[in-house]
Amino acid sequence: MSDNGEKKKLLDYDHATLPEEKLMTYGAEALSDSELLALFLRTGTTGRTAIEVAQDIIDSLERKSPSRQGLSSLLTGTYDDFLSIKGVGKSKAARLVGMVEMARRMRRPMGRSVPLNTPKAIADFVMPDLMGLQHEEFRVIGLNVKKELQFVECISRGTLDCTVVHPRDVFQGAIGKKCHSIALVHNHPAGNPRPSSEDRSLTERLKRAGELLGIPVVDHIIVGDHSFYTFLEDGAL
């Protein structure tokens, strides 16, 4: 088919169903970011097509997090963020939050038997969940003697640049589940994973507590924007 013929065929589609028809004819890879997102929105609003509302969502979240472009900007979106955009009601906002969470879970390594025996393995496991968050979260990963996953627990949620962590909370789950060791993980929403002086002080305190309890801290991973820092590999643990 000539280019003119292809364009004419596309223009013949009803604009509201264009993304679905375009996908079935040309494949998902032919769709733009806004067209893909419009598939999940299903409908637009008065005076705005689903594609236009989808582009409004992407534009809004790109302004919120300039380091993220296109669909990756949705990882920073909250229910309230989506709801604040004209044409997105409660149902659409809930659907978008669910879509983002589904994308996070699809990127996780599958199964508890996946060994978390290197800093990269730990980072790969947690980065899909932590990248894009607009607040700090501190998580503890419990490991068995083979360094396989026993549990993951978020013990603290903080602000943009701060979270409060108590050693008692860090080790409580590991003691109860008889873990052999733990890994510590938290994120830096600003994107730079380099540890602060507070991060270093906390890591040292938790390392000493682990030694006393017989539950060693094998690493402390800080997640940034598409990057991570490891205390172990930096010789700081």
CATH number for the domain harbouring residue 136: 3.40.140.10
- The domain in which residue 87 lies consists of 3-106
Query: What pLDDT score does 7 carry?
Result: 42
Taking the C-alpha atoms of residue 208 and residue 115, their distance in angstroms, rounded to an integer, is 25
What pLDDT, on the 0 to 100 scale, is given for residue 113?
64
Do residues 123 and 224 both lie within one domain? Answer: yes
Q: What pLDDT score does 161 carry?
A: 53
Q: Which H or E element spans position 150?
A: strand 149-157
Tell me the Cα Rg of the chain. Answer: 22
Displacement of CA 164 from its chain's centroid (Å)? 21
Q: From CA 229, how far away is CA 237, in angstroms rounded? A: 12
Question: Residues 30-36: contacts with CB within 8 Å, 24+ apart?
Answer: 33/58, 33/70, 33/71, 34/58, 36/71
Bridge partner list, 222: 186, 229
For position 144, what pLDDT does the model report? 95
113 occurs within a structural domain: no
186 beta partners: 138, 222
Judge if 98 and 126 occupy the same domain.
no
CA 104 to each of CA 74, 127, 129, 188, 201: distance values in angstroms, whole numbers, following the listed order: 11, 9, 6, 18, 31
Domain boundary among 78, 106, 134: 106
Number of structural domains (the chain) is: 2
Assigned domain for 98 exists: yes
Q: What is the pLDDT along the chain (237 residues), one digit of tens a residue?
A: 444 444 434 444 444 458 888 999 889 999 999 999 999 998 999 989 999 999 999 999 988 877 778 998 888 888 999 999 999 999 999 999 999 888 877 766 655 567 899 999 999 889 888 887 878 999 999 999 999 999 999 998 876 555 678 899 999 999 999 999 999 999 998 889 999 999 999 999 999 999 999 999 999 999 998 899 999 999 998
